[in-house]
Structure 1
Amino acid sequence: MIERFRVAPGSVTALTVSGGDRFEVIDRFGRQPAELTVLAADPRAVTGWTPDAPATVLRSLVAGPDEIGYAAGRILTLLSRHIDQDRARALRLFGDDSAAGARSGFGVDADAVVLVAAPASRMDLAGADPNPPSEVMVEVHRAKPARPEARELPAPLAEPLWDMRIGSSTASSYEIRAGQFIQIIDVEGRQCSDFLAFDARGLDGGREYGLDPTTTRTIGGGAYPQPGLSGKFFDSRAQPLVEVVRDTVGRHDTFALACTAKYYADLGYPGHVNCTDNFNATLSRFGVAARAGWPALNLFYNTAFDAAHQLTSDEPWSRPGDYVMLRACTDLVCASSACPDDIDPANGWMPTDIHVRVYDSTRRFSVAVGHRLTPDSEPVLTKPTAFADRTGALTSTFTEYHGYWLPNSFDGYGPQHEYWACRERVAVMDLSALRKFEVLGPDAETLLQATLTRDIRRLSRGQVVYSAMCTETGGVIDDCTVLRLGDNNFRFIGGDPHDGIWLRTQAEKLGLQQVWIKDSTDQMHNIAVQGPASRDLLAGLIWTPPTQPTLRDLGWFRFLIGRLGGPDGPPLLVSRTGYTGELGYELWVHPDDGGTLWDAVWTAGAPHGIAPLGLEALELLRVESGLIAAGHEFDDQTDPFEAGIGFAVPLKTKTDDFIGRAALTERKAHPQRVLVGLRLDGNETAGHGDCVHIGRAQVGVVTSGVRSPILGAGIALCRMAVQHAEPGTRVEIGKLDGHRKRIPATVTTFPFYDPEKSRPRA
Structure 2
Amino acid sequence: MLQRSDSLAPQRVRYQGLKDASTLRRDVRYGQMDHVHVRAGSVISVTTVDGGCDVWLTSRPRDARDFGVTAFDGPIGTGDALPATGFDTRALRAMAQSRDTTLDQARGLRIFGPDAPAGETHIGKITQDADLICILPAQGGFIETGAGGRVVLTIQPPAGNGHDLTLPDPLGHVVDEWRVSRGTARAYTLKKGQFVQIIDVEGQQCSDFMAMRADALDQGVERYIDSTVSRTMARGAYPTPGLHDKFFDQDMVPLLALRQDTVGRHDTFALACTARGYEERGFPGHINCSDNISGAFAPYGIGTRRAWPAINFFFNSWIDWQNHHIAADEAWSRPGDHVTMQALTDLVCVSTACPDDVDPINGWNPTDVHVRIYDETSRIQHAVAWRANPEDAAQMTARSAFHPRISKLTSSFQVARQLWMPTQYDATGAIAEYWACKTAATLQDMSGLRKFDIIGPDAEELLQICLTRNAAKLSQHRGFYALICDARGSVLDDGTLFRLEDTAFRWCCGSDNSGLHLREQAAAHGLNVRVLSYGDKIQNLALQGPKSRDILRKIVFTQPSRPALDNLKWFGFTIARLHDRDGPMFMLCRTGFTGELGYEIFCDSADAVTIWDALMEAGAPDGLVPMGSHALEMLRIEAGLMISGAEFGPEADAFESGLGFAVDLKKPHFIGRTALERNTTAPRRTLVGLHMVGNEVPVHGDGIFVGREQVGTVTSACHSPALGHAICMARVAVENAATGTNLEVGKLDGHMKRLGATLVDLPFLDPKREKARA
Task: Calculate the TM-score normalised by the size of structure 2.
Answer: 0.91
Q: Tell me how far apart the structure 2 counterparts of residues 185 and 569 of structure 1 sit (CA, whole Å).
A: 46
SS of residue matched to 1:369: strand
Matched residue of 2:339: which SS? strand
Cα deviation code 1:676-731 (max 9, x no counterpart)? 11111223222110000111111100000111111112211111111111112221
Residue 53, structure 1, aligned to residue 80, structure 2: yes
Matching residue's letter, 2:627 = L
Please name the residue that 1:121 is paired with.
138
The answer to whether residue 47 in structure 2 is matched with residue 26 in structure 1 is yes
Aligned to 2:25: 5
Deviation, 1:73, is 6.9
Per-residue CA distance 1:642-674 (angstroms, 9 max, x = gap): 11110111102x22x211111111122221111
How far apart, in 1, do the equivalents of 2:621 and 2:481 lie?
A: 33
Verify: 1:648 aligned to 2:662, yes or no.
yes
Counterpart-to-counterpart distance in 2, 1:431 and 1:44: 41
Cα distance in 1, alignment partners of residues 753 and 733 from structure 2: 21
What secondary structure is seen at the aligned counterpart in 2 of 1:600? Answer: helix
- C-alpha spacing 1:568/1:224, structure 2 compared with 1 (3 Å): farther
Using the alignment, how far apart are the partners of 1:269 and 1:404 within structure 2?
Answer: 46
Question: Relative to 1, partners in 2 of residues 1:244 and 1:136: Cα closer, same or farther, differing over 3 Å?
Answer: same
Task: Tell me the residue number matched to 1:285.
Answer: 299
Q: Secondary structure of the residue that 1:552 maps to in structure 2?
A: helix
Inter-partner Cα distance in structure 2 for 1:644 and 1:202: 59
SS of 1:10 mapped into structure 2: strand
| Amino acid paired to 1:117 | C
1:274 counterpart residue number: 288
Secondary structure at the residue paired with 1:566?
Answer: coil
Matches within 5 A, 1:221-260: 221-223=235-237, 231-260=245-274
Equivalent position SS for 2:250: coil
Aligned-pair identity in percent equals 42
User: Which residue is equivalent to 2:634?
Assistant: 620
Contact map agreement 1:63 1:73 (CA 8 A) in 2: no
- Counterpart position of 2:151: 135
Q: How far does the alpha carbon of each residue in 1:470-529 deviate from its partner, in whole angstroms, 9 at most, with x for none?
A: 1111111111101111011111111112322222122111112x3222212412111111
Note if contact 2:203-2:333 (Cα within 8 Å) is conserved in structure 1: yes
- Counterparts of 1:571-650 in structure 2, within 5 Å, are 571-650=585-664
Aligned partner of residue 464 in structure 2, secondary structure? helix
Secondary structure of the corresponding residue to residue 132 of structure 1: coil
Corresponding position: 1:474 with 2:489: yes
Counterpart residue number, 1:370 = 385
2 CA distance for matches of 1:145 and 1:601? 56
Change in Cα spacing, 1:545 to 1:230, as seen in structure 2 (3 Å) is farther
For residues 289-314 of structure 1, give each alpha carbon's deviation from its aligned partner in whole angstroms, at most 9, with x where no partner exists.
Answer: 22221111110000011222321100
**Unaligned segments of structure 2, at least 5 residues:** 1-20, 64-68
Does 1:414 pair with 2:429? Answer: yes
The one-letter amino acid paired with 1:238 is M
Contact 2:22/2:165 (8 A) holds in 1: no
Q: Compared with structure 1, are the counterparts of its residues 2 and 50 closer, same or farther at alpha carbon in structure 2 (3 Å cutoff)? A: farther
1:430 and 2:448 correspond: no
After superposition, residues 526-537 of structure 1 pair within 5 angstroms as 526-537=540-551
Instruction: Quote the Cα distance in structure 2 between the aligned partners of 1:117 and 1:57.
Output: 14
- Assess if the C-alpha contact under 8 Å between 1:37 and 1:89 holds in 2: yes
AA aligned to 1:49 is: I
Q: Quote the residue 1:712 is aligned against.
A: 724
The Cα offsets for residues 560-586 of structure 1, whole Å up to 9 and x where unpaired, read as 111112222211111111111101111
Alignment partner of 2:33: what SS? Answer: coil
SS at match of 1:485: strand
Amino acid at match of 2:472: R
Matches of 1:567 and 1:675, distance apart in 2: 47
Give runs of aligned pairs for residues 379-418 of structure 1, distance below 5 A.
Answer: 379-418=394-433
SS in 1 for 2:686: strand
Measure the CA separation in 1 of the matches of 2:74 and 2:397: 39
SS of equivalent residue, structure 2 residue 174: coil
- Report the AA paired with residue 265 of structure 1: E
Which residue identity lines up with residue 134 of structure 1 in the other structure?
R
Displacement of 1:271: 1.9
| More displaced stretch, 595-604 vs 727-736 | 595-604
Distance 1:240 1:632, change over 3 A: same
Corresponding residue for 2:558? Answer: 544
> Which residue is 1:346 aligned to?
361
CA distance in 1, matches of 2:139, 2:255: 43
SS in 2 for 1:742: strand
The CA distance in 1 between the partners of 2:661 and 2:686, in whole Å, is: 13
Distance 2:422 2:241 in 1: 15
Query: 1:27–1:33: 8 Å Cα contact kept in structure 2?
Result: no
Q: Is the 8 A contact 2:35 2:131 kept in 1?
A: no
- Counterpart in 2 of 1:315? 330
Which position in structure 2 is the counterpart of 1:508?
523
User: Cα distance, 1:135 vs. partner?
Assistant: 2.8
Cα distance in 2, alignment partners of residues 257 and 386 from structure 1: 42
AA in 2 matched with 1:472: A
Distance 1:365 1:23, change over 3 A: closer
Letter of the 1:494 partner, please give it: C
User: Which stretch of the first structure deviates more once superposed, 7-16 or 614-623?
Assistant: 7-16
Q: 1:280 to 1:58 in 2, by over 3 A?
A: farther
Q: Would you say 1:685 and 2:708 are equivalent positions?
A: no
Instruction: Measure how far apart 1:549 and its partner are.
Output: 2.5
AA partner of residue 118 (structure 2): A
Q: Is the 8 A contact 2:242 2:267 kept in 1?
A: no
- After TM superposition, give the deviation of residue 628 of structure 1 in Å: 0.5
> Cα distance, 1:436 vs. partner?
0.7
Moved more, 47-56 or 642-651: 47-56
Query: Residues 69 and 257 from structure 1, CA distance in 2 versus in 1: closer, same or farther, beyond 3 angstroms?
Result: farther
User: Residue 112 of structure 2 aligns to which amino acid in structure 1?
Assistant: F
Equivalent position SS for 1:719 = strand
Give the Å deviation of 1:115: 3.5
Structure 1 residue 732: Cα displacement: 1.0
The Cα RMSD (Å) is: 2.8
1:664 aligns with 2:687: no
Aligned to 1:694: 706
Residue 574 of structure 2 aligns to a residue whose secondary structure is: strand
Q: Is the 8 A contact 1:690 1:702 kept in 2?
A: yes
Take 1:115 and 1:237, find their aligned partners in 2: how far apart are those partners? 49
Partner of 1:448: 463
- Mean Cα displacement is larger for which, 35-44 or 680-689? 35-44
- Name the SS for the 2:384 alignment partner: strand
8 Å CA contact 1:7, 1:13 repeated in 2: no
Q: 1:51 deviation in Å?
A: 4.0
Deviation at 1:264, TM superposition (A): 1.1
Is the contact made by 1:676 and 1:720 (CA closer than 8 Å) also made in structure 2? Answer: yes
1:104 Cα deviation from its structure 2 partner: 3.0
Hey, what does 1:157 align to over in structure 2? 171
**Partner AA of 1:32 in structure 2:** C
**Aligned amino acid, residue 686 of structure 1:** P
Q: 1:238-292: per-residue Cα shift (whole Å, max 9, x none)?
A: 2211111110000011110111111111111122111111111111222212222
Structure 1 residues 119 and 43 mapped into 2: Cα distance closer, same or farther (>3 Å)?
closer
How far is 1:122 from its partner? 5.5
Evaluate the alpha carbon distance shift between residue 116 and residue 302 of structure 1 in structure 2; reply closer, same or farther with a 3 A threshold. Answer: same
Pick closer, same or farther for the CA change 1:739–1:428 going to 2, 3 Å.
same
Unaligned runs of 5+ in 1: none
Cα deviations by residue, 1:317-357 (Å, 9 ceiling, x for unpaired): 00010000111111111111111111111211111110001
Asked whether 1:743 is paired with 2:759, we answer: no
2:4 maps to: none
Task: Name the CA distance, whole Å, in 2 between partners of 1:157 and 1:584.
Answer: 41
Contact map agreement 1:577 1:585 (CA 8 A) in 2: yes
